[in-house]
Structure 1
Amino acid sequence: MLRFGTFELDLDRAELREAGGAVIKLRPKTFALLQFFAGNANRLLTKQELMSAVWPNVHVGEDSLFQAIREIRTALGDKDRQVVKSVSGRGYLFEAEIEATGARAPRSAPPAAPTATPPAEEASPAAKPSGARHWLLMTRRPALAISTVLCLAVGVAVAAPILVRRLYVPEMQTITVVPFEARTADPATAPMAANITDRLTDGLSKIGNIRVLAPQDELRTASGSTAPSTNTDFIVRGELQRNRDKWDVQARLIDANGQVQWSGGYSVPAEAMDERLQQSRLTAGIGNLLALRINALTHARLSSPESKIVVEQATAFLNQTNKERFAVAQDLLEKAHAEKPNDVDIAAALSAHLMRGVATVWYPVSENDAIEQRAKGLLDKAVKQEPNYIPVLQAYCRLLQTINEFAETLVACQNALRFDPWDGLVMFQIGMAQFRLGRFEDALATFERADTIDTPQVSRWTWPLGAGAALVFMGRYEEALPWLRQSIAVTPGTGRTHLLIAAALEALGRHDEARDYVAQAMKLRPGSNGENIGLPTKNQSPRYMASADKVRDLLITAGLPPK
């Protein structure tokens, strides 16, 4: 519950209420915009930032934004525009003191970085009567104001650790995308290269702290090399070629001095998928890695090579994961964290790893609370150092979804996508939050969207599992099976996918096959029964719970022990 002025914003019910409890009706998008404003109170928000947050991946005109703002002002009685303020030529400012109250008060999550805030500005936490702080509700203040707040807060033991937080606002960087070269002399390669260039430009333009210049052929010199413009910090250039059975794309990030700051490549089958899917996955394959590198370059500190190696090694063990490989990965991260307790990359990776173990039930259930607290503690420390760093944002997104804070998950994960719009794992977390809120159709669309980008590689089993689960819960059993088998083909390690397949097969009358899958699941998850296979029930919707009960009954019929 968020309170400001005489109003209450109920995130669970998606309602705006007056002090007396009367509900003020708002359209869903208008409510989403108000929630985003409240979560970023007293911070300048550009039109692009608002539109990307409320209408992600949907091309809408500014009229939609203006209408929603008018509706918010009307609902708040803000005729003089003293709450939702227009800042000429820059955007909007929601000026209000926000108070998070009640049992469902939002948990800590990293703040969104402004798209057009000068580097000299820093963030100052908004006070709550309890002394707690909420990262989604931080306000922006000049450095002098932060110093004043810090002075006033001396001696306040609860608030002090957060008030001394150094929030770094990455500098706005300009990136020029040069048209990708077609290296194969056939009619299909040049149009494909042009489409990848356009998709990459569109994706980069969604990143909050960079400004993207559209592709310009004149930036290419007569020799074919790229001549950096004096008005750009980085140039992205690349090449596409078609081999016998695959498309190969290569890309580089070049700074204003002509130094290559990043290079990478990606391949997709040339015949096994349609052209639009090829374009999407080729773009995402390089876009995801490029976004991570841009985020690191515009950040306060770069990752150490040693930390990067440890994280990559741990990630490698999660491909074709099982409980044993998971334990090896954790051992690598634990040792690295013991040696470098202040390393943000290792702390974020370890926190994400711990929450992955909770989600896959690879820790004793009795230890989950302690593990969740440890994961949160690691992130609390990491976010003080690097609040807008992609690995930290990803880990917080995962944490909130795993501990069933679904409304907060949606906000935190959308914030993560503002820095990497090609992060399929973050989309999976969004889909799971929608799924457990009973929004099965929205969840399926989100999982399908993640599948179209199919990155990062370590998470390729998650969105097929999510799509299959959503279809099972909607009773679309035949459609669910290909998705679930796709997930098992990547990693069979959790057993949860086997149980969903078993439920679908049982519902389709294929009883012997269903029993076989239950038996396979029991080998992977010994001790499973009808009482312990479900996800934690906190904050789950009635629609989800009813469907989960039906799936459990199908599994018991297929041979799962009831207790």
Structure 2
Amino acid sequence: MPVIDASNDPRGAAVAGGVADRLTDGLSRIDNIRVVAPRSEAGTGTERASAPSDFEVRGELQRGQQAWILRARMIRTATGEVRAVATVSVDADESDTQLEQSRVAAGAGHLLAGRLNRLLETGESSDATGGSTTGSTRTVIEQATASINQTTRERFGMAQTMLQEALTAESNNVDLAVALAALQLRGIQMVWYSPDDARAGATLERALRAKPNSIPVLETYCRFLSANNRFVESLVTCARALSFDPWNGLALYLVGLGQIHLGRFEDALATFRQADRFDTPQVSRWTWLLGAGWANMMMGRGDDAVPWLQRSIAITPASGRSHMLLAATYQQLGRLDEARAAMKEGLRLRPGTTALNVSPPTKNASPVFLEASGRIIKLMVAAGLPES
């Protein structure tokens, strides 16, 4: 339904209309639902769905001192029961109305798409075989996710303990197993955990058989494929996840990562920029910023890379790899003192890193990727990275 403008702002009506249009367009791209547009009833000034629907999405836009605030509800039409609530706050940027609208719509759409996916694919009742997501399971997963919004090794450990304890109590719970696998794969990419590919692969293949259209399962399997350099397969799996949640920034990041390794740097940059326009989910925000900086550096665009890398580090400074890439960027730009300082911090966070192990595994990477990556490593060495 149309988003109600309750903002008392001269731009409110235009922003509300733009958000409604973007939300409608995004929801209509979801494979297993259909979206019907509202129609005005003559003489009444009211809007009703143009065809029977299971749910109505209603929203109200307000303007705070520094932000646009959207409150959206997904209501079961037959009963009036509220099945999902999304409250989104986006910093108001007078210079880019399109970006404001995109982020407000994405913030609500991402939450609503996830809720619809659970309703359609996993159900709501308890099932000891792992066939659905219970309220207690969702709570554990949400709390574990919240604990790593600021990504550090300590927070990862806290989230892992939380999920492992819950999985011990419910050993057949597919959702908990997938959430734990997702966390550990993220940790592997941060070089905080050692991979257990056989176990993760078996868990995810079991989950795919049980829930082939589940967003968490698809995005975690995409991460697994990416972590194992199966980039072509990861692009297909991530595209499937995006077909159920077009605003999924994690899936977009993994698409961009595959494109980088396949030597498609311009495509990767466009993908990372799209993720940044959506800016959701918050837990993954630093990744597409790092990806955009990396893609720019692979094309030799140091000036463009710097702000992306600085924004990524400001959100998650614990990776170390981000600092090393920033050091290479400064080195290319002739900012040598800053390059040495960034490399020093990167080595503090990732002791033992050398030119031989700084790069991720190169299996299945394209020659174009290998050439560009080698050039960046030389810049890192010039900034202070040990050669061996």
Shared fold, TM over 0.5: yes
- Residue matched to 1:182: 5
2:307 — aligned with what?
482
Listed one character per residue, the Cα deviations across residues 101-132 of structure 1 (whole Å, up to 9, x for unaligned) are xxxxxxxxxxxxxxxxxxxxxxxxxxxxxxxx
Match of 2:354 in 1: 529
Aligned to 2:83: 261
Q: What CA distance in whole angstroms lies between the structure 1 residues aligned with 2:291 and 2:30?
A: 26
Match of 2:345 in 1: 520
1:215 is displaced (CA, Å) by 2.9
Q: Which amino acid aligns with 2:96?
A: D
Paired position in structure 2 for 1:356: 186
Q: 1:122-141 counterparts in 2 under 5 A?
A: none
Structure 1 residue aligned with 2:130: none
Residues 452 and 433 of structure 1: is their aligned pair in 2 closer, same or farther, counting only changes over 3 Å?
same
Identify if the C-alpha distance between structure 1 residues 335 and 183 changes in structure 2 by more than 3 Å, giving closer, same or farther. Answer: same
CA contact (8 A) 1:355 1:372 kept: no
Residues 502 and 233 (structure 1), Cα distance of their counterparts in 2 relative to 1, 3 Å cut: same
Tell me which residue corresponds to 2:172.
342
Residue of structure 2 in register with 1:251 after alignment = 72
User: In the TM superposition, what is the alpha-carbon distance from 1:397 to its structure 2 partner?
Assistant: 1.2
Find the residue that maps to 2:34 and give its secondary structure. Answer: strand
Match of 1:463 in 2: 288
Aligned positions of 1:287-302 closer than 5 A: 287-302=109-124
Structure 1 residues 186 and 515: alpha-carbon distance in aligned structure 2, compared to 1, 3 A threshold: closer
- How far off is 1:246 after superposition? 1.2
Q: Is the 8 A contact 1:179 1:217 kept in 2?
A: no
Q: 2:28 aligns with which of 201, 205, 219?
A: 205
Matched, 1:379 2:209: no
Task: Structure 2: give runs of 5+ residues left out of the alignment.
Answer: 125-132
Q: 1:244, CA displacement in angstroms?
A: 2.4
Give the CA RMSD over aligned residues.
Answer: 1.7
Are positions 1:415 and 2:240 aligned together? yes
Distance 2:232 2:94 in 1: 38
1:215 aligns with 2:45: no
The secondary structure found in structure 1 opposite 2:58 is: strand
Q: Which residue of 1 aligns with 2:16?
A: 193
Contact 1:228 1:258 in 2 (8 A): no
2:282 pairs with 1:473 = no
Post-superposition Cα deviations, 1:225-266, rounded to whole Å, max 9, x if no partner, equal x86787111111111122222111110001121111111110
One-letter identity of the residue aligned with 2:209: K
Query: 224, 231, 239: which is aligned to 2:52?
Result: 231
* Structure 1 counterpart SS, 2:56: strand
Shift in alpha-carbon separation, 1:471–1:358, aligned structure 2, 3 A: same
Structure 1 CA distance for aligned equivalents of residues 94 and 202 of structure 2 = 45
Offset of residue 221 of structure 1:
7.5
In 2: Cα distance, 1:433 partner to 1:233 partner? 37
By percentage of residues, which structure has more helix? 2
CA deviations 1:398-453 (Å, max 9, x no partner) are 11111111111111100000000000110000000000111111000000000000
Do the aligned residues in 1 keep the contact of 2:36 with 2:50 (CA within 8 Å)? no
Question: Aligned to 1:235, what secondary structure does the other structure show?
Answer: strand
Q: Structure 2: which amino acid aligns with 1:424?
A: G
Secondary structure at 2:41 match in 1:
helix
SS in 1 for 2:31: coil
Cα deviation, residue 470, structure 1? 0.6
Shift of the 405–310 alpha-carbon distance from structure 1 to 2, 3 Å rule, reads same
- The answer for the alignment partner of 2:328 in structure 1 is 503
- Between the aligned partners of 1:553 and 1:309, the Cα distance in structure 2 is 46
Higher relative contact order (CA 8 A, sep 6+): 2
Name the % identity: 48
Q: Structure 2: how far apart are the matches of 1:454 and 1:279?
A: 12
- Corresponding pairs, count: 379
Which residue of 1 is the match for residue 92 of structure 2? 270
Structure 2 residue identity aligned to 1:217 = S
TM-score (norm 1): 0.65
Which segment drifts farther, 212-221 or 445-454? Answer: 212-221
* 8 Å Cα contact 1:351/1:376 also seen in 2: no
Q: Is the 8 A contact 1:292 1:390 kept in 2?
A: yes
Structure having the higher Rg: 1
Alignment partner of 1:400 out of 216, 219, 225: 225
Shift of residue 185, structure 1, vs aligned partner? 3.4
What's the CA shift for 1:360?
Answer: 1.1
- Partner amino acid for 2:62? Q
The separation in 1 between residues aligned to 2:342 and 2:307, in whole angstroms, is 15
How far is 1:380 from its partner? 1.7
Kindly tell me: are residues 227 and 220 of structure 1, through their superposed partners in 2, closer, same or farther at Cα, counting changes over 3 Å?
A: farther
> Secondary structure of 1:461's partner?
helix
Alignment counterpart, residue 311 of structure 1, candidates 129, 141, 158: 141
- Partner SS for 1:258: coil
The question of whether the paired residues in 2 share the 8 Å contact of 1:219 and 1:227 is answered with: no
Answer whether contact 1:350 1:375 (CA < 8 A) is retained.
Answer: no
CA contact (8 A) 1:501 1:517 kept: yes
**TM-score, normalised with respect to structure 2:** 0.94
Contact 1:220–1:227 (8 Å) recurs in 2: no
1:560 matched to 2:385 = yes
Distance 1:219 1:428 in 2: 46
Q: CA deviation at 1:483?
A: 0.2
* Distance in 2, Cα, partners of 1:274 & 1:437: 33
Where does 1:435-454 land on structure 2 (aligned, <5 Å)?
435-454=260-279
AA paired with 1:234? F
Q: 218, 240, 261: which one pairs with 2:61?
A: 240
Structure 2 contact 257–291 (Cα < 8 Å) conserved: yes
Runs of 4+ in 1 over 3 A off after TM superposition: 217-222, 226-230
Q: CA deviation at 1:218?
A: 3.5
Moved more, 180-189 or 198-207: 180-189
Please state how far the C-alpha of 1:193 moved relative to its aligned partner: 0.8
Partner SS state of residue 279, structure 1:
helix
Q: Which residue of 1 aligns with 2:104?
A: 282
Partner AA of 1:274 in structure 2? D
Q: Which amino acid is 1:297 matched to?
A: L
User: Secondary structure at the residue paired with 1:210?
Assistant: coil
CA 1:313/1:272 → structure 2, altered by over 3 Å: closer, same or farther?
farther
Instruction: Measure, in 2, the Cα distance between the counterparts of 1:198 and 1:431.
Output: 26
Separation of aligned partners in 1, 2:41 and 2:219: 38
